[in-house]
Structure 1
Amino acid sequence: MLENFETEFPEHTPRTDGAPHPLDGTLVVDFSHFIAGPLATMILADMGAQVVKVEAPARGDDLRRYPPMHPQLDQGAPFLWSNRNKQSVALDLKSPEGIELVRQLIRKADVLVENFSSGVMGRLGLDYETCRALNPRLVYCSVAAYSREGKFADRLGFDPIAQAESGFVSMNGYADRDGVRALSPVMDISTAMMVSNAVLGALLARERLGTGQRVEVSLFDTAVLMTGYASMQSLFTGSDPKRSGNTSPDTCPSGAFHAKDRTFYINSGNDNIFQRLMIQVLERPDLAAHADYASGPLRSKHRERLFGVLNDAFGKEEWSLWQGRMRAAGVPCGLVRTVGEAIRSPEARDHELVTRIPHPVLGSVPNVRLPIRYATTPLADPVAAPCVGQHTREVLKTVLGMNENVIDAAAKAGAFGLAPTN
């Protein structure tokens, strides 16, 4: 496991010494689990916030057990991917002592993020109104499947369900078979980005208004947004989008084509790109001037014939030739890559998207960076995802000012569960 990655990927390049972080001095108490919430708080952690991840003693976040698990760690690749730069505090939320410690953290916090089922935070005595009484400046963000209130507050939801119910699945795949879900958790990821944006907006509003507020982001609502402009098209026409496989219903020629050695994708988004493709790349001015191809709708009408011409031409030469010509002509194109090819691609290497970062057990682990680049406030240097409860004592000392005797007493009282993790 993790064979050869140390020779394939460079070490992370540290940020500039002394440069501030975007969220310096911001404390986030993170009750979230699985993907949408944790990825959102990781974005905040990458921006320099101190994110305290509150986990159940011993077991921790269920995402820790998503494969592939590393035999030397209490976590697998998905957890490592979505929980860097955090501190893990293991507290038993079923114990009065554990809840009291959480309340003390909330009094100090700027942000709270939770994605429990509706009603759980209330049963714990950690609902918004209670937390606001503890800390009026708190930004309290709930990540819901559907909603925290109303007719659907009881419904549970995961990424594939949101893909299905939003209409996203119905749009993807080929017309002669059922729609397909995206294997990537696109709704969780997009919800995480919405959550981090929502929290940043609430923090900015707090600077102007002086008080925090309750924020809610729904997985289902985000999934509807992720259907793109198809929702607006449906409202205009009264019709649902049809699955079109790798082609585009809106532009032509856009789709997957086959060179002699590789499959690649072209997005011919307007008439000018089509003209450059025909004249400069394929050297076919006759097709550029053909009346059947004079506009996008006409090209779509004659797509089958046009694609036949293109694939016949592309199949005579290798991708390297076509790539050079299309790049020179300004035709948007790219290889259809595997994930492994993508993370090892020249583009990914040029941006140092994947690097090696230190790990206390394994020596080093891979890291996939955020696509954000600040000139003045660079993102935090990545620290690998913690083990369950790794920072319990450290956080109680530094954030709450507790001494060892008080922490030991809390442990004895059951605040850290039956088997406290230090």
Structure 2
Amino acid sequence: MLLKGLKVVEFASYIAAPGAACILGDWGADVIKVERPGGDSMRHVFADLKTELASNPTFDLDNRGKRAVVLDVGKREGREALARLAATADVFITNVRPAALKRAGLDEATIREANPRLVYCLVTGYGLEGPDAHKPGFDVTAFWARAGVANMTAPKGMDPFMLRSGFGDHITALATVSAILAALYEREQTGKGRMVQTSLLATGVYTVGSDLAVQLRFGRLASNRPRNLPLNPLSTFYKSSDERWFVHNPRRGAQDWPDFATIAGRADLIDDERFATGKARRENSPMLVAEFDKAFAAMPFDEIAAKLDAADMAWAPVQTPAQVAADPQVMASGAIVQVEDGEGGTFPSPAAPARFPGADATVRPRSPTLGEHTREVLAEIGYSQDEIEAIFKAEAAA
């Protein structure tokens, strides 16, 4: 495993920071998840929704393969144990707000005194500076809404809508992993660690960066357009006779026009003066979309797919989650990993989106139960058995 020997201490909850720690764990790091009494809120997501589901795949996704410790940092013994644990780590990752970390003596300056080589990673909603840096942030607020992603995603005239669970969090997790690895590389050159910081807000801005770059440069930006009103009628979604959607992305400019029209069975449109030039197709986009809608609605999906592939067009089906789960290309791409279920079997889960041929982890350990490794980890950092019992007796650990 690429990161074998790297020790990561995670004092975080929800998704973005735990997700980053989990990716490091998937790549070989020893990740110790420190939770407060009661545990990470994500442990209880299905229970809170009052479902009858026996497992929690949302929590498992971001916490597989970790070791779990419970410490109450509201008590002196718990704070001291976490500081002592961080002093043995290569990476400390947290999304606790800075003011609370400072009150607990777990801020970067304090921990670094005992561990100058530490990479201290802080994941926030809005960053560490500015008038709103202190505010709590989630992906729907900081990433989706405030960064402009929701506005740029909804077509013009449509009300904003909610994003899917963990969407911005997992993109932020990837940004966080890259920042940590950069700091670890620097440490190899200098011998010293540093703080790295990521935020949901800045990640959201970068995620829509191609469009926002236009806004920043020219002070304006075209809105997202409805499906039936695209600037380029070849670049939108169409539906087959068996009710399956697909999207086409023209990559050869005007060269794709005659091929696409022929695939649709409408070669007669190629020289139609309403559509014969790129400008004409743009100006008459709704009419051309309507013609293609009728044409593709008369063809089964498999026929459309075969014709698009034969012409080497850039296209893809619009798949449901169930179809994604059954897609052989998804499996072949390494996008799914097996996770131990604790009962001798495994279940599939999304993998971290990178591959290391020859070193891929095809099966990952299950996520830990709350406090499963508390005694083990405390012993590893030098606590005697009597000291461990004293911490438990003080209810500073569980």
Taking structure 1 as the reference length, what is the TM-score of the superposition?
A: 0.86
Of 259, 262, 265, which aligns to 1:276? Answer: 259
1:183 deviation in Å?
A: 2.2
Confirm or deny that 1:141 pairs with 2:124.
Answer: no
- Cα distance in 2 between the residues matched to 1:304 and 1:249: 8
Q: CA RMSD in A?
A: 2.5
Distance, in Å, in 1 between the alignment partners of 2:252 and 2:229 is 12
Where does 1:3-402 land on structure 2 (aligned, <5 Å)? 21-57=1-37, 59-67=38-46, 76-162=56-142, 163-246=144-227, 251-261=232-242, 262-271=244-253, 272-279=255-262, 281-282=263-264, 284-289=266-271, 293=275, 298-351=280-333, 353-354=335-336, 356-360=338-342, 363-379=345-361, 381-398=363-380, 400-402=381-383
Q: AA paired with 2:372?
A: Q
1:250-280, Cα deviation, whole Å (9 max, x unpaired): 644212111110222222244133343234x
Once the 2 structures are TM-superposed, how far is the Cα of residue 290 of structure 1 from its aligned partner?
5.3
Output the CA distance in 2 between the equivalents of 1:250 and 1:207: 50
Q: Which amino acid aligns with 1:277?
A: F
Distance in 1 (alpha carbons) for counterparts of 2:266 and 2:188: 60
Give 1:409's aligned residue. 390
**Structure 1 pair 356/267, CA: closer, same or farther in 2 (3 Å)?**
same
Question: d(CA) in 1 for partners of 2:154 and 2:289?
Answer: 19
Q: For each residue in 1:321-350, what CA deviation from the matched residue of structure 2 results, as whole angstroms up to 9, or x when unmatched?
A: 010110121112222222122112232344
Whole-angstrom distance in 2 between the partners of 1:275 and 1:403: 77
**One-letter code aligned to 1:282:** A
Moved more, 32-41 or 149-158: 149-158
Contact 2:139–2:166 (CA under 8 A) maintained in structure 1: yes
Give the letter aligned to residue 308 of structure 2: M
2:264 touches 2:295 (CA, 8 Å); kept in 1? yes
Q: CA deviation at 1:72?
A: 8.8
Letter in 2 for 1:32: A
- Percent sequence identity over aligned pairs: 31
Between 228-237 and 28-37, the greater mean CA deviation after superposition = 228-237
Whole-angstrom distance in 2 between the partners of 1:137 and 1:205: 10
Structure 2: where are the runs of 5+ without partners?
Answer: none
Where does the alignment leave 5 or more consecutive residues of structure 1 unmatched?
Answer: 1-20
Residues in 2 aligned to 1:177 and 1:365: alpha-carbon distance in whole angstroms: 38
- Tell me whether 86-95 or 147-156 shows the greater mean CA deviation: 147-156
Q: Using CA pairs below 8 Å that are at least 6 residues apart, which structure has the higher relative contact order?
A: 1
- 1:248–1:369 CA distance, 2 compared to 1 (3 A): farther
Moved more, 119-128 or 342-351: 342-351
Q: CA deviation at 1:364?
A: 4.0
Contact 1:234/1:241 (<8 A) preserved: no
After superposition, give the CA deviation of every residue in 1:275-315 in whole Å (9 maximum; x if it has no partner).
43234x23555544556546655433221121122112111
Give the AA of the match of 1:328: A
- Report how far residue 353 of structure 1 moved: 3.9
Alpha carbons of structure 1 residues 117 and 298: separation in structure 2 relative to 1, 3 Å: farther
Following TM superposition, by how much is the alpha carbon of 1:96 offset from its aligned partner in structure 2, in angstroms?
A: 1.3
Instruction: Describe the SS at the equivalent of 1:53.
Output: strand
Between 379-388 and 35-44, the greater mean CA deviation after superposition? 379-388
Match of 1:12 in 2: none
**TM-score, normalised via structure 2 length:** 0.90
Distance in 1 between the 2:382 and 2:368 partners? 22
Shift of 1:380: 7.0
Q: Which amino acid aligns with 2:198?
A: V
Instruction: Name the CA shift for 1:404/1:275 in 2 (closer, same or farther; >3 Å).
Output: farther
User: How many angstroms apart in 2 are the aligned matches of 1:173 and 1:217?
Assistant: 26
The alignment partner of 2:236 has SS state of strand
| Change beyond 3 A, Cα 1:181–1:299 | farther
Measured at CA, do residues 355 and 26 of structure 1 come closer, stay the same or move farther in structure 2, by a change above 3 Å? Answer: closer
Instruction: Note the alpha carbon deviations across 1:5-38, whole angstroms, 9 max, x for none.
Output: xxxxxxxxxxxxxxxx111111111011111111
